[in-house]
């Protein structure tokens, strides 16, 4: 049974007014447990709107959302319990920090869950550890932290709820390359250690290529592709037509393919690229 | 969406009233208020009422919107009317026996009640007309220009106006940010609906604190950006958009002057009418 | 050709938790007129601190910075400096002060006291240059990030500055917005001959500059043409910077002993070089 399932999901902005617009339209989707799904699409394609349906923040205009088999808009479903299961980290989450200490802020989620003091402490330390926040930082005010540390503290605040599904909307936005790699590495580790399902909304094809197992491509409020990373990058030409960027290395191989060399055009990392060139030179040639 | 609601409810349009210069509109609104309160009898008051109806028609603002502004004030109007009706001494209109009390409603009481109610209602309608037809930024501009002579008495007119402009500029942005903060805290299980009033107020902290911090951060960055664009206060500043009174502004002023004169004349020359005995 | 900006033995520290942190360590840096120079570095390398010295937001602790010959410490001439070195920041929202686009673009000119008729002309001109003229009556919150940044740029170039300093202007934008801003910046440099200093950590932006300067720990560690700088892949990676995948691929292949040019930057160059390689191996 898929852990997230939607049926003909639709959400409309400014319903009833002349500005009415479907943000997502007829979305039917099955996401299996344990997958690391990269969600990509141009701005305005509906990615952020879609993921806000998975934790019940947005109510669909039509269609259904099932989390772990449960219709979250069914009778007597407590939305808050869904939010503890489906953790959502928004863009620039550091702007939501508010508590006196980093510890307390990370504890906000578990406290809302009604856990006892020991449980809360345990989860805070665990979450802080996951994102690389040292014990000294925990007793400081969140406003004393650097930008990167704040970002990690905010992510820890969601991880501390131990959600079985973790959704992150551009967690590396605004960070320098080192910061990006660090955050994505922590998310990868979380995925492996907790065996949780992870959804990563991003504009960076390269980040998704390096981290995801599946890719969900959206455009103009609809899903245009959903499949394994390999399958998606085999359709690089379509991706480019949609206005999406493919990794540079993919473009190189598409260019080589066009020039008549039978190399695999769906290469999406430098390592794969290197292996493919070496294979070709050493006589593997036509593919 | 919340984003589309502007302060004081502005309805964009291209009527004559919309196009009038904001300074002129403010002056005309004040003049109208003077007119409203200087109408001493039924006819002069009627003139003021008709004048406002004509203005409303020209502005093409739907009547429903205009009357909407009165709704919140209705309790006050009713209360004032009742107090006036029952407590103003004068020639008896009705006599009621309530228990052992004699309750008298006098003619003067009714007159006063009616006058007061009408005045309050049209005060609201008049000011609403101003805000409905003038965008907040035009109002700020108009106020700044009107008050600029007060710079001579050290009133920080430019600074006040700058504050208003920046506030107006950031309101939609801060509303959007509040929405995001609320969503983010809800995503961590924040509950803004349940509990008693104290609980609910405490629940606002996760929204208010980030919002305040953000507002301060924005202010700092904005101040830096303003410095980089050579901001040095009001000294020596020019304005791209100049106050330009058009023919319609002079025309409106003239019309208003005539109507005001008319009201005053009616007061003087037609004294023996309802309401006159009051003043 | 005059140097628009000159930093001589520039050092600067700031206090953090009672400890002085040296943000800039004896920097010597000149920007000739008309150049497009990219300043690269990870967060904390000092690049933003350096940029803020160029229009006297920060003053040197030791050494000096001069703009068109004017020392930035000269308080009387600060407005001359700021009119000639305009600065655009990272957050598109927090630079826009007015409720209507064209009024924001007019802000700087109003502050300087330019006559109203001329303000009108310059505002229209600036908006057309950045491609936002149709939006001149829009409210800022209705615009996308890239559009807001372009409005911010218009507000600066309306002052007709000789130099434009941009501090990570695309960090908060989506790919489309980044493209819009970069195109605008390139146009300003190539067509309008505005000197540009672009502080960034994005390789694909630095690649388009005339000159790349890499900073680390408050010092400049490399200064040269993009081709020269991006050949130093090991060094760039060691200071936490990314290299274009095309360059990295060729670097990895060279490590295996395969002969490839060491200054490959773009997809096309990579395709050409690899094509030659594959052709040779085909013929063997």
Is residue A203 located within the same domain as residue A266?
no
Q: Cα C108 vs. chain centroid, distance in angstroms?
A: 21
Chain A residues with beta carbon closer than 8 angstroms to that of C270: 252, 255
CA atoms lying within 13 Å on the CB side of residue A232: 30
What CATH number is given to the structural domain containing A177? 3.40.50.300
Q: Domain range for residue A104?
A: 4-229
Q: Which of B137, B173, B238 sits opposite C100 (nearest CB)?
A: B137
What lies within 8 Å, CB to CB, of C21 at 6+ separation is C13, C14, C15
Across the interface, which of A173, A261, A270 has its CB nearest the CB of C252?
Answer: A270
Which chain B positions have a beta carbon within 8 Å of A109's beta carbon? 188-189
* A181 in the same domain as A106: yes
Cβ–Cβ gap A173/C282 under 8 Å:
no
Longest dimension (CA), chain C: 74
Flag whether A279 is in a domain.
yes
Residues A129 and A263 placed together within one structural domain of the fold: no
What is the reported pLDDT for B12?
A: 79
Residues of B in contact with A80 (CB under 8 A): 189, 191
Report residue A48 as tokens.
């952020």
Any idea which residue has 């604190």 for tokens? B209
Residue C18, Cβ density class (10 Å: 0-12 exposed, 13-18 middle, ≥19 buried): exposed
Q: Are C274 and C245 in contact (CB under 8 A)?
A: no
CA-nearest of A24, A5, A21 to A13 is A21
Say if A10 falls within a structural domain: yes
Q: Do C128 and C213 belong to one domain? A: yes
Residue ranges of B 141-180 with Cβ closer than 8 A to chain A: 177, 180
Nearest-angstrom CA–CA distance, C221 and C215: 6
Alpha-carbon gap, residue A32 to A3, rounded angstroms: 5
Q: Is B165's Cβ below 8 Å from some Cβ in C?
A: yes
A281 in the same domain as A197: no
Distance, C-alpha B243 to centroid of its chain: 23
Q: Single out the residue of A178, A160, A159 nearest to residue A168, CA to CA.
A: A159
User: What pLDDT, on the 0 to 100 scale, is given for residue B99?
Assistant: 74
Q: Is residue A49 part of a domain?
A: yes
Q: Where are the alpha helices (DSSP H) in chain B?
A: 16-19, 22-38, 42-59, 63-68, 74-87, 107-133, 136-147, 157-186, 197-202, 205-228, 247-269
**Could you give the ipTM of this predicted complex?**
0.92
| C3 pLDDT more than 80 | yes
**For residue C270, what are the domain limits?**
244-284
Q: What is the DSSP letter of B234?
A: B
Total structural domains in chain B? 1
Question: Do A42 and C171 lie within an 8 Å CB cutoff?
Answer: no
With beta carbons under 8 A apart, name residues in chain A contacting B191: 80, 112
Q: Are residues C160 and C269 in the same domain?
A: no
Q: Which subunits have 3 or more CB–CB pairs within 8 Å of chain A?
A: B, C
Same domain, C144 and C33: yes
Same domain, A223 and A287: no
Whether the predicted pLDDT of C63 surpasses 60: yes
Interchain proximity A57–B205, CB inside 8 Å = no
Together in a domain, C179 and C270: no
The CA distance from A167 to A110, in Å, is 17
Q: Average the pLDDT over C134-145 and give the result.
A: 92
Residues A85, A172 within the same domain = yes
Which residues in chain A have Cβ-Cβ distances shorter than 8 Å to C233? none
Q: Are residues A12 and A114 both part of a single domain?
A: yes
Give the C-alpha separation, A143 to A137, whole Å.
11
Instruction: Tell me the CB-side half-sphere exposure of residue B34, using CA atoms within 13 A.
Output: 12
Asked if the structure places residue A236 within a domain, the reply is: no
CB proximity B93 to A under 8 Å: no
Residues C152 and C274 both lie in one domain:
no
User: Residue A169: which of A271, A119, A241, A96 has the closest Cα?
Assistant: A96
Three-state secondary structure call for residue B51: helix
Which residue did the predictor score with more confidence, B74 or C122? C122
Nearest by CB: A55 against B187, B205, B210: B187
Contact B187 A80 (CB under 8 A): no
Structure tokens at B7: 């302060």
If asked whether residues A159 and A257 sit together in one domain, one would say no
Number of domains in chain C: 2
CA distance A197 to chain B (A): 17
Nearest-by-Cβ selection for C155 from B229, B232, B236: B229
In A, minimum Cα distance to C175 occurs at A203
Q: Are A105 and A97 in contact (CB under 8 A)?
A: yes
Per the rule left: phi > 0, alpha: psi between -120 and 50, beta: everything else, B41 is beta
Chains touching B, CB cut-off 8 Å, 3+ pairs? A, C
Are the C-beta atoms of residues A106 and A156 closer than 8 Å to each other? Answer: yes
Verify that C94 and C216 share a domain, yes or no.
yes
d(CA A107, CA A124): 6
Whether A161 sits inside 8 A of B177 (CB atoms) is: no
Host H or E run for residue C14: strand C3-16
Does residue A46 lie within any of the structural domains? yes
- pLDDT at position B7 is 41
Residue A132 has pLDDT above 50, yes or no: yes
Q: Do residues C152 and C203 share a domain?
A: yes
Residue of B nearest to A158 (CA): B188
pLDDT at A259 over 50: yes
Angle of the C116-130 helix axis to the C175-190 helix axis, nearest 10: 120
Nearest CA in chain A to B190: A112
Among residues 186-205 of chain A, which lie with CB inside 8 Å of chain C? 203
Average pLDDT, chain C: 93
CA distances from B141 to B23, B160, C15 (A): 8, 11, 42
- Judge: B238–C119 Cβ closer than 8 Å, yes or no: yes
Report the CATH number that the domain containing residue C132 is assigned in CATH: 3.40.50.300
Structure token digits, residue A193? 């250690």
- With beta carbons less than 8 A apart as the criterion, state whether C250 and C273 touch: yes
Give dist(CA A160, CA A119) in Å, integer. Answer: 10
Query: Both A73 and A199 in a single domain?
Result: yes
Question: Do residues C46 and C78 both lie within one domain?
Answer: yes
Query: Based on the number of CB atoms within 10 Å of its own CB, is A91 exposed (0-12), middle (13-18) or buried (19 or more)?
Result: middle
- B residues 70-89 near C, CB within 8 Å? none
Residue in chain A nearest C276 by alpha carbon: A256
Tell me the two tokens of residue B75. Answer: 């309790």
CB C247 within 8 A of CB C227: no
Q: How far is C125 from chain B (nearest CA, A)?
A: 14
Exposure letters B165-191 (e unless 16+ CB within 10 A, then b): bbebbbbbbbeebbebbbbbbbbbbbe
Q: Residue A11: which of A67, A55, A56, A50 has the closest Cα?
A: A50
Residue C82 C-alpha, separation from nearest chain B C-alpha, in angstroms:
6
Determine whether the interchain pair C43/A148 forms a contact, defined as Cβ–Cβ distance below 8 Å.
yes
Please check whether residues C55 and C45 belong to one and the same domain: yes
Per-residue pLDDT tens over the stretch A96-110: 999 999 999 999 999
Cβ proximity of C240 and A179 under 8 Å: no
Domain span at B188: 2-278
Does B186 sit within 8 Å of A57, measured CB to CB?
yes
Residue C135, CA distances (Å) to A105, A229, C11, C170 in order:
41, 40, 42, 20
Q: Are residues C199 and C248 in the same domain?
A: no
Instruction: Output the CA angle C234-C238-C239, nearest 5 degrees.
Output: 125
Do A203 and A87 lie in one domain? The reply is yes
Contact A83 B188 (CB under 8 A): yes
pLDDT score, position B113: 85
What are A27's strand-pairing partners? A9
Backbone angles phi, psi at C216, to 5 degrees: -155, 130
pLDDT tens-place string over residues C67-105 = 999 999 999 999 999 999 999 999 999 999 999 999 999
User: Which chain C residues are Cβ-neighbours of A255 within 8 angstroms?
Assistant: 267-268, 270-271
Least confident of A127-136, A273-282, B85-94, C10-19: B85-94
Q: Which residues of C touch B166 (CB under 8 A)?
A: 97
pLDDT in tens, A27-83: 999 999 999 999 999 888 999 999 999 999 999 999 999 999 999 998 888 889 999
Inspect the interface and report whether the beta carbons of C95 and B225 lie closer than 8 Å: yes
Maximum distance among all Cα pairs of chain B, rounded to whole angstroms:
78
Higher pLDDT, C282 or C61: C61
**How many domains does one find in chain A?**
2
Which of C88, C91, C110, C120 best probes binding to B when mutated, by most B CB atoms within 10 angstroms?
C110
Mean pLDDT in chain A? Answer: 91
Does residue A108 belong to any structural domain of this protein?
A: yes
| Residue B151: alpha-carbon gap to chain centroid | 25
Q: Who's near C96: CB < 8 A, 6+ residues apart?
A: B169, C104, C140, C148, C151, C152, C155
Q: Is A240 on the interface with C (CB under 8 A)?
A: no
In this prediction, residue A284 has a pLDDT band, given cuts at 50, 70 and 90, of low
Tell me if A249 and C245 make a contact (CB, 8 A cut-off). Answer: yes
Chain C residues with CB-CB distance to B165 below 8 A? 97-99
Both A138 and A272 in one domain: the answer is no
A154: contact with C, CB 8 A cutoff: no
Task: Tell whether C270 and C238 lie within a shared domain.
Answer: no
Closest residue of B to A56, CA-based? B187
Decide if A270 touches C, using CB distance below 8 A.
yes
Give yes or no: residues C268 and C228 share one domain: no
- Closest chain A C-alpha to C236 CA, distance in angstroms: 11
Q: Are C96 and C104 in contact (CB under 8 A)?
A: yes
Regions of chain B with pLDDT less than 50: 1-7
Q: Is A265 on the interface with C (CB under 8 A)?
A: no
Say if residues B52 and B118 touch (Cβ distance below 8 Å): no
Q: Is residue A242 part of a domain?
A: no
Q: What is the pLDDT of residue B3?
A: 38
A205 with A67, same domain? yes
All residues at 6 or more sequence positions from C29 whose CB lies less than 8 Å from its CB, including other chains:
C5, C6, C7, C10, C50, C213, C220
């Amino acid at each position: 049974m898929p852990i997230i399932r939607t049926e003909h999901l639709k959400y409309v902005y400014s319903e009833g007014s002349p500005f009415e617009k479907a943000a997502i339209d007829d979305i039917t989707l099955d996401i299996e447990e344990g997958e690391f799904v990269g969600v990509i699409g141009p701005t305005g394609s509906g990615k952020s709107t879609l993921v806000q349906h998975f934790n019940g923040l947005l109510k669909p205009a039509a269609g259904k959302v099932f989390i772990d088999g449960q219709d979250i808009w069914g009778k007597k479903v407590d939305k808050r319990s869904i939010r503890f299961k489906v953790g959502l980290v928004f863009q620039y989450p550091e702007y939501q920090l508010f508590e006196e200490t980093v510890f307390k802020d990370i504890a906000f989620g578990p406290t809302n869950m009604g856990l006892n003091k020991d449980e809360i402490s345990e989860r805070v330390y665990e979450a802080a550890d996951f994102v690389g926040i040292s014990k000294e930082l925990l007793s400081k005010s969140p406003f004393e932290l650097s930008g990167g540390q704040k970002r990690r503290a905010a992510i820890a605040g969601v991880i501390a709820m131990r959600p079985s599904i973790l959704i992150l909307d551009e967690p590396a936005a605004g960070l320098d390359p080192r910061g990006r790699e660090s955050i994505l590495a922590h998310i990868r580790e979380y995925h492996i250690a907790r065996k949780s399902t992870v959804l990563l909304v991003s504009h960076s094809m390269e980040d998704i290529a390096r981290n995801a197992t599946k890719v969900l491509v959206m455009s103009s409020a609809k899903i245009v592709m959903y499949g394994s990373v390999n399958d998606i990058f085999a359709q690089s030409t379509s991706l480019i037509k949609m206005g999406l960027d493919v990794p540079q290395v993919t473009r190189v191989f598409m260019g080589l393919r066009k020039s008549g060399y039978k190399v695999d055009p769906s290469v999406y990392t430098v390592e794969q690229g290197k292996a493919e060139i070496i294979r070709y030179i050493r006589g593997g040639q036509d593919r | 969406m919340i984003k589309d609601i502007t302060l004081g409810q502005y309805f964009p349009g291209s009527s004559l009233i919309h196009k009038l210069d904001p300074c002129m509109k403010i002056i005309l609104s004040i003049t109208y208020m003077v007119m409203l309160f200087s109408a001493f009898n039924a006819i002069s008051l009627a003139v003021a009422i008709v004048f406002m109806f004509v203005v409303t028609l020209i502005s093409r603002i739907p009547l429903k919107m205009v009357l909407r502004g009165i709704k919140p004030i209705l309790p006050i109007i009713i209360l004032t009317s009742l107090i006036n009706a029952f407590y103003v001494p004068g020639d008896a209109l009705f006599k009621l026996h309530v228990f052992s009390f004699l309750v008298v409603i006098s003619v003067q009481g009714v007159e006063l009640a009616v006058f007061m109610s009408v005045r309050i209602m049209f005060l609201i309608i008049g000011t609403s007309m101003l805000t409905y037809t003038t965008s907040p930024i035009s109002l700020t501009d108009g106020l700044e220009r009107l008050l600029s002579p007060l710079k001579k008495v050290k009133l920080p007119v430019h600074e006040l106006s700058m504050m208003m402009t920046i506030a107006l500029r950031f309101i939609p942005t801060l509303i959007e940010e509040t929405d995001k903060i609320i969503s983010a805290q809800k995503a961590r299980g924040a509950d803004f609906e349940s509990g008693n009033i104290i609980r609910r107020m405490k629940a606002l902290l996760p929204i208010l604190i980030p919002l305040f911090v953000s507002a301060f951060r924005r202010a700092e960055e904005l101040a830096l950006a303003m410095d980089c664009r050579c901001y040095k206060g009001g000294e020596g500043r020019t304005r791209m958009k100049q106050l330009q009174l058009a023919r319609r502004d002079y025309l409106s002023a003239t019309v208003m002057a005539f109507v005001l004169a008319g009201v005053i004349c009616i007061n003087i020359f037609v004294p023996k009418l309802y309401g006159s005995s009051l003043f | 050709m005059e140097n628009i900006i000159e930093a001589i033995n520039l050092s600067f520290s700031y206090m953090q938790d009672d400890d002085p942190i040296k943000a800039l360590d004896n920097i010597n840096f000149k920007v000739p007129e008309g150049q497009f120079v990219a300043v690269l570095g990870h967060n904390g390398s000092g690049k933003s601190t350096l940029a803020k010295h160029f229009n006297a937001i920060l003053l040197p602790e030791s050494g000096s910075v001069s703009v068109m010959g004017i020392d930035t410490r000269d308080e009387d001439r600060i407005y001359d400096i700021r009119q000639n070195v305009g600065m655009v920041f990272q957050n598109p929202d927090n630079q826009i002060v007015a409720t209507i686009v064209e009024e924001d673009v007019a802000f700087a000119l109003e502050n300087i006291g330019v006559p109203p008729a001329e303000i009108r002309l310059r505002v229209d001109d600036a908006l057309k240059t950045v491609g936002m003229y149709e939006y001149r009556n829009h409210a800022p919150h209705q615009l996308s990030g890239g559009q807001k940044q372009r409005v911010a740029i218009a507000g600066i170039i309306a002052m007709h500055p000789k130099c434009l300093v941009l501090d990570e202007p695309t960090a908060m934008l989506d790919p489309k917005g980044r493209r819009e801003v970069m195109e605008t910046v390139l146009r300003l440099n190539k067509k309008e001959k505005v000197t540009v200093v672009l502080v960034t950590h994005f390789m694909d932006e630095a690649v388009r500059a005339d000159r790349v300067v890499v900073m680390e720990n408050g010092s400049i560690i490399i200064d040269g043409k993009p081709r020269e700088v991006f050949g130093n892949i090991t060094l760039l990676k060691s200071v936490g910077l990314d290299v274009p995948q095309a360059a990295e691929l060729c670097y990895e292949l060279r490590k295996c002993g395969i002969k490839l040019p060491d200054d490959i930057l773009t997809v096309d160059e990579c395709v050409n070089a690899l094509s030659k390689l594959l052709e040779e191996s085909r013929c063997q």
